[in-house]
Homo-oligomer: A and B are copies of this chain.
Amino acid sequence: MIYRIRFGAMIETDAVMRPEMAAKLLQGLDGKKGGLFDCIQIRKEEAIYCRLDRKDAVYGLGEQVRGINKRGWIYNSDNSDNPHHHEDTTSLYGSHNFLVIAGEKNYGIFLDYAGKVAFDVGYTEQDMLLIRPEDWNFDLYLFEGDSVKEIVRDFRRMTGRCYIPPKWAFGYGQSRWSYYSADEVRQIVKKHRENNLPLDAVYLDIDYMDNYKDFTVNGEAFPEFAEFVREMKRQHIHLVPIIDAGIKKEDGYSVYEEGKEKGYFCKKEDGSEFVAAVWPGHAVFPDFFHEEAREWFGNQYDYLLKQGIDGFWNDMNEPAIFYSEERLLQVFEKLESFKGKNLGMDDYFGMLDLVNGLSNNREDYESFYHDYRGRKIRHDKVHNLFGAFMTRAASEAFERLQPEKRILMFSRSSATGAHRYGGIWQGDNKSWWSHLRLNIRMCPSLNMCGFLYTGADLGGFGSNTTEDLMLRWMEFGIFTPLMRNHSAAGTRCQEIYQFKNLDAFRNILQFRYRLLPYLYSEFMKAALADEMYFQPLAFEYPEDDMASQVEDQLLVGESLMIAPVCEQNARGRYVYLPEEMKMYRLKQNGELESGILSAGHQYVAAELEELIFFLRKGHALPLAAGGNCVEEVDFDHLTVLTFGDGEISYRYYRDDGESRDYDNPDHISVLHVKGDCEMTAE
Q: Among the listed stretches A131-139, A254-262, A462-470, A513-521, which one makes contact with chain B, having 4 or more residues with CB under 8 Å of it?
A: A462-470
How many Å from the CB of A529 to the closest CB on chain B? 30
A69 (CB) vs chain B CBs: closest residue: B569
Query: Quick check: is A374 within 8 A (CB to CB) of the other chain?
Result: no
CA distance A611 to B281 in the complex (A): 56
**Chain B neighbourhood of A322, CB < 8 A:** 343, 345, 348
In the complex, the answer to whether B500 meets A434 with C-beta atoms within 8 Å is: no
In the complex, the answer to whether A282 meets B332 with C-beta atoms within 8 Å is: no
Whether A430 touches B88, Cβ cut-off 8 Å, given contacts A356-B352, A567-B551, is yes
Contact of A67 among B323, B358, B500, B568 (CB under 8 A): B568
In the complex, the answer to whether A431 meets B355 with C-beta atoms within 8 Å is: no
CA distance A569 to B603 in the complex (A): 21
Query: Quick check: is A574 within 8 A (CB to CB) of the other chain?
Result: yes
**Chain B neighbourhood of A340, CB < 8 A:** 329, 332
**Chain B neighbourhood of A71, CB < 8 A:** 568-569
CA distance A230 to B52 in the complex (A): 47
**Chain B neighbourhood of A87, CB < 8 A:** 430, 432-434, 463
Whether A344 touches B281, Cβ cut-off 8 Å, given contacts A126-B468, A601-B601, is yes
In the complex, the answer to whether B500 meets A125 with C-beta atoms within 8 Å is: yes
In the complex, the answer to whether B126 meets A500 with C-beta atoms within 8 Å is: yes
Query: Quick check: is A190 within 8 A (CB to CB) of the other chain?
Result: no
Query: Quick check: is A277 within 8 A (CB to CB) of the other chain?
Result: yes
- Residues of A558-589 whose CB lies within 8 A of B: 567-572, 574, 576
A468 (CB) vs chain B CBs: closest residue: B72
**Chain B neighbourhood of A668, CB < 8 A:** none
Query: Quick check: is A3 within 8 A (CB to CB) of the other chain?
Result: no
In the complex, the answer to whether A343 meets B323 with C-beta atoms within 8 Å is: yes
Chain A 340-366 against B: per-residue CB contact (8 Å), 1 yes, 0 no?
101111001001100110100000000
CA distance A377 to B466 in the complex (A): 37
In the complex, the answer to whether A549 meets B568 with C-beta atoms within 8 Å is: no
- Residues of A407-436 whose CB lies within 8 A of B: 430-434
In the complex, the answer to whether A323 meets B339 with C-beta atoms within 8 Å is: no
**Chain B neighbourhood of A549, CB < 8 A:** 569-572
In the complex, the answer to whether A351 meets B343 with C-beta atoms within 8 Å is: no
How many Å from the CB of A477 to the closest CB on chain B? 18
CA distance A71 to B126 in the complex (A): 38
Chain A 492-526 against B: per-residue CB contact (8 Å), 1 yes, 0 no?
00000000110000000000000000000000000
CA distance A355 to B464 in the complex (A): 24
**Chain B neighbourhood of A57, CB < 8 A:** 569
In the complex, the answer to whether B356 meets A277 with C-beta atoms within 8 Å is: no
How many Å from the CB of A475 to the closest CB on chain B? 16
CA distance A533 to B463 in the complex (A): 35
In the complex, the answer to whether A434 meets B431 with C-beta atoms within 8 Å is: no
**Chain B neighbourhood of A67, CB < 8 A:** 568-569
**Chain B neighbourhood of A355, CB < 8 A:** 351-352, 355-356
How many Å from the CB of A432 to the closest CB on chain B? 4
In the complex, the answer to whether B342 meets A72 with C-beta atoms within 8 Å is: no
How many Å from the CB of A206 to the closest CB on chain B? 9
Query: Quick check: is A188 within 8 A (CB to CB) of the other chain?
Result: no
**Chain B neighbourhood of A464, CB < 8 A:** 88, 123
Whether A343 touches B468, Cβ cut-off 8 Å, given contacts A549-B569, A568-B67, is no
In the complex, the answer to whether A344 meets B280 with C-beta atoms within 8 Å is: yes
CA distance A332 to B468 in the complex (A): 44
Contact of A342 among B282, B343, B500, B551 (CB under 8 A): B282
Query: Quick check: is A66 within 8 A (CB to CB) of the other chain?
Result: yes
Centre residue among A279, A282, A342, A571 by max chain B CB count within 10 A: A342
- Residues of A639-679 whose CB lies within 8 A of B: none
Chain A 56-69 against B: per-residue CB contact (8 Å), 1 yes, 0 no?
01000000001101
CA distance A343 to B335 in the complex (A): 17
In the complex, the answer to whether B342 meets A281 with C-beta atoms within 8 Å is: yes
A355 (CB) vs chain B CBs: closest residue: B355
A70 (CB) vs chain B CBs: closest residue: B569
Query: Quick check: is A21 within 8 A (CB to CB) of the other chain?
Result: no
CA distance A551 to B69 in the complex (A): 24
**Chain B neighbourhood of A72, CB < 8 A:** 466, 468-469, 568-569
Query: Quick check: is A73 within 8 A (CB to CB) of the other chain?
Result: yes
**Chain B neighbourhood of A212, CB < 8 A:** 345
- Residues of A263-291 whose CB lies within 8 A of B: 277, 279-282
CA distance A126 to B469 in the complex (A): 11
CA distance A551 to B329 in the complex (A): 51
A602 (CB) vs chain B CBs: closest residue: B601
**Chain B neighbourhood of A568, CB < 8 A:** 66-67, 71-72
Query: Quick check: is A328 within 8 A (CB to CB) of the other chain?
Result: yes
- Residues of A306-350 whose CB lies within 8 A of B: 322-323, 328-329, 332, 335, 338-340, 342-345, 348
**Chain B neighbourhood of A335, CB < 8 A:** 332, 335
**Chain B neighbourhood of A501, CB < 8 A:** 126
Query: Quick check: is A105 within 8 A (CB to CB) of the other chain?
Result: no
**Chain B neighbourhood of A434, CB < 8 A:** 87, 434
- In the A-B complex, list the 10 residue pairs whose CB atoms are closest, starting with the nearest: A281-B344, A88-B463, A87-B432, A601-B603, A574-B574, A281-B342, A355-B355, A282-B342, A72-B568, A69-B569
- List, sorted by A's number, 9 A–B pairs whose CB atoms are closer than 8 Å: A71-B568, A71-B569, A73-B466, A86-B432, A88-B464, A279-B345, A328-B343, A355-B355, A576-B603
**Residues of A participating in the B interface, judged by any CB pair closer than 8 Å:** 57, 66-67, 69, 71-73, 86-88, 122-123, 125-126, 212, 277, 279-282, 322-323, 328-329, 332, 335, 338-340, 342-345, 348, 351-352, 355-356, 358, 430-434, 463-464, 466-469, 500-501, 549, 551, 567-572, 574, 576, 601, 603
New contact pairs (15) apart from A71-B568, A352-B356, CB-CB < 8 Å = A57-B569, A66-B568, A86-B430, A123-B464, A126-B500, A281-B342, A281-B345, A323-B343, A332-B338, A332-B340, A335-B335, A352-B358, A434-B434, A549-B570, A574-B603
